[in-house]
Amino acid sequence: MVPPQASDRLVSLEATVYVVEAAKLLYVQVPKAACTTMLWTLLDLAGLDRSSLPTSRGAFPTPSSVIHDGGIHPVPTIGKLGRELREEALTAPEWMRLAVVRDPYARLYSAWESKILMRGPGPWLHYPQPDLVEKADAIDVGASFRAFVRAMQHDRGTWQADPHFAQQVYVMALDEIDYTDVVPTAALGRLFSQLSDRVGRPIQPDRYNEGLGINYAEIYDDESAEAASDLFAADLDRLDFERRSFAEPAEILLGGAARRLLDHVVARNERAAQIAQAIKA
Question: Do 29 and 85 have their domain in common?
Answer: yes
Question: Do 98 and 108 have their domain in common?
Answer: no
Q: Strand (E) positions, 194-280?
A: 253-254
pLDDT band at 268 (very low <50, low <70, confident <90, very high): confident
Task: Report pLDDT for 187.
Answer: 96
Supply the DSSP symbol for 76.
Answer: P
Q: Which segments of 155-187 does DSSP mark as H helices, in order?
A: 156-159, 168-171
* Angstrom distance (rounded) from CA 256 to CA 162: 33
Task: Report pLDDT for 13.
Answer: 82
Question: Do 141 and 83 have their domain in common?
Answer: no
Question: Do 64 and 41 have their domain in common?
Answer: yes
Provide the whole-model pTM.
Answer: 0.90
Residue 101 and residue 109 in contact, taking contact as beta carbons nearer than 8 Å: no
**Spatial CA neighbour of 160 closest among 196, 203, 116, 127:** 127
Residue 130 and residue 117 in contact, taking contact as beta carbons nearer than 8 Å: no
Q: For residues 95 and 57, which has the higher predicted lDDT (pLDDT)?
A: 95
Question: Do 150 and 19 have their domain in common?
Answer: no
Orientation of helix 35-45 relative to helix 188-199, angle to 10°? 10
Task: Report pLDDT for 144.
Answer: 98
Question: Do 235 and 260 have their domain in common?
Answer: yes
Residue 82 has pLDDT above 50, yes or no: yes
* Angstrom distance (rounded) from CA 133 to CA 141: 7
Domain range for 21 is 11-102+168-199
**High-pLDDT (> 90) share of the chain, %:** 71
Task: Report pLDDT for 211.
Answer: 82
**Spatial CA neighbour of 184 closest among 116, 244, 114, 242:** 242
Segment among 134-148, 199-213, 215-229, 264-278 with least mean pLDDT: 264-278
Residue 2 has pLDDT above 50, yes or no: no
pLDDT band at 5 (very low <50, low <70, confident <90, very high): very low
CB-neighbour burial class of residue 246 (10 A; exposed 0-12, middle 13-18, buried 19+): middle
Which residues, at least 6 apart from 176, have a Cβ–Cβ distance to it below 8 Å?
A: 9, 10, 13
Task: Report pLDDT for 64.
Answer: 66
Position 181 in a domain: yes
Question: Do 86 and 153 have their domain in common?
Answer: no
Position 135 in a domain: yes
Question: Do 132 and 235 have their domain in common?
Answer: yes
Segment among 117-131, 176-190, 199-213 with least mean pLDDT: 199-213
**Spatial CA neighbour of 61 closest among 125, 121, 15, 109:** 121
Residue range 131-172, pLDDT digits in tens: 999 999 999 999 999 999 999 999 999 999 999 999 999 999
Number of domains in the chain: 2
Residue range 10-65, pLDDT digits in tens: 666 888 999 999 999 999 999 999 999 999 999 999 998 887 776 665 556 565 67
* Angstrom distance (rounded) from CA 47 to CA 158: 40
Task: Report pLDDT for 57.
Answer: 56
Task: Report pLDDT for 229.
Answer: 98
* Angstrom distance (rounded) from CA 212 to CA 53: 27
Residue 174 has pLDDT above 90, yes or no: yes
Q: For residues 75 and 60, which has the higher predicted lDDT (pLDDT)?
A: 75
CB-neighbour burial class of residue 136 (10 A; exposed 0-12, middle 13-18, buried 19+): exposed
Q: For residues 279 and 25, which has the higher predicted lDDT (pLDDT)?
A: 25
Task: Report pLDDT for 8.
Answer: 47
DSSP 82-126: -HHHHHHHHH-TTSEEEEEE--HHHHHHHHHIIIIIS--SSGGGG
What's the mean per-residue pLDDT of the chain? Answer: 89
* Angstrom distance (rounded) from CA 61 to CA 120: 9
Question: Do 147 and 98 have their domain in common?
Answer: no
Q: Strand (E) positions, 118-199?
A: 134-135, 138-140, 181-184
**Spatial CA neighbour of 31 closest among 120, 94, 95:** 120
